[in-house]
Amino acid sequence: MSDWTGVLHLDAEDRKGKTVAKKVYYQGAFKVMRPIYHDNSGQACYYLLNPGGGYLDGDSYQMKISLAENARMTLTTQGATKVYKTPNKYAYQESDISLKAGSYLEYIPDPLIAYQNARYKQKNVIRMDQTATFLYSDILTPGWSPEGERFSYTTVQLLNEIYMDDELVVFDHIKLQPSEQNIRGLGFMEGYSHLGSMIVVSEQSNSSFLDQLYSTLSKSTYECKVGLSLLSVPGFTIRVLANSTQMIEKIFSEIHQMISREWFQIIPSSLRKY
């Protein structure tokens, strides 16, 4: 695809225990802030910016992220991704992520809000070494419509492909089309309005940690539905159906903190500004 609305390329490497940018390039309606270091672990945190305020008809965005050996990064957004009416052509974003040996990437964007008549497609392709760790989450939120209809967007499609040593090990595909599906029914939203997904791939994801994770989720008293599935490689996926963004964020935050404490002996900082 040519004529991108926004492009971002970010390469990072480890220098004496601190992750720093080796190359940063962006143009158009896609930018990144200077890194923030929340603690003394050397892990860099980058905030993605969309100066345009939202995705419009035909907008297309490309992001390429590369972490060298032992580099550690948190990648998040400054605010929600808002997709407005797209009557002629869907809005599109693709990400190409490369994780070398021992690297760690947390990709935790703010929620995606799809407004009335929005059409949006997102594709993430991750190529990682078997010793790397990848944590990704997304939250799909219905946007406002004049009639008050929760599911007024046309199409939202989220695609994730994870390759380990050039072999496809995870294929995750969500496609919601309210006008063509019984979106409130069984197998779809089941009466809920918000959908959260988390994918974690790491060789540190062993049976003991998964038992602990399952126990934590089972004791949850949240008014939602949570599903945990194992992957064909060390790792897991989690789906959450709820009626608010905050509820899903609370569950994902608990899991994120468990991973940070158990695997890296650190306490993650709050990424949000509210």
Residue 119 lies in a domain: yes
Is it the case that residue 51 has pLDDT exceeding 60? Answer: yes
The per-residue pLDDT for 186 is 74
The token pair at 245 is: 């963004």
Residue 156 lies in a domain: yes
Residue 253 lies in a domain: no
Domain count, the chain: 1
* pLDDT tier, 2 (very low <50, low <70, confident <90, very high otherwise): low
Residue 117 lies in a domain: yes
DSSP3 helix / strand / coil % (the chain, rounded to 5): 10, 45, 40
- Residues 171-222 pLDDT 10s: 999 999 988 888 888 778 888 999 999 999 999 998 889 888 888 887 766 6
Question: Mind spelling out the 3-state secondary structure of 184-248?
Answer: CCCCCCCCCCEEEEEEEECCCCCHHHHHHHHHHHHCCCCCCEEEEEECCCCEEEEEEEECCHHHH
Mean of per-residue pLDDT scores for the chain? 91
Residue 123 lies in a domain: yes
Of 182 and 82, the one with more pLDDT: 82
Q: Which residues pair with 127 in a beta bridge?
A: 98, 163
Calpha distance 270→253 (Å, rounded): 9
Residue 258 lies in a domain: no
Strands 155-164 and 119-128: parallel
Is it the case that residue 144 has pLDDT exceeding 80? Answer: no
* pLDDT tier, 89 (very low <50, low <70, confident <90, very high otherwise): very high
Is it the case that residue 76 has pLDDT exceeding 80? Answer: yes
Of 265 and 93, the one with more pLDDT: 93
- Domain of residue 120 covers 6-190
As to burial, measured by CB atoms within 10 angstroms (0-12 exposed, 13-18 middle, 19+ buried), residue 73 is: buried
Residue 34 lies in a domain: yes
Q: Which residues pair with 14 in a beta bridge?
A: 19
Residue 98 lies in a domain: yes
Is it the case that residue 223 has pLDDT exceeding 70? Answer: yes
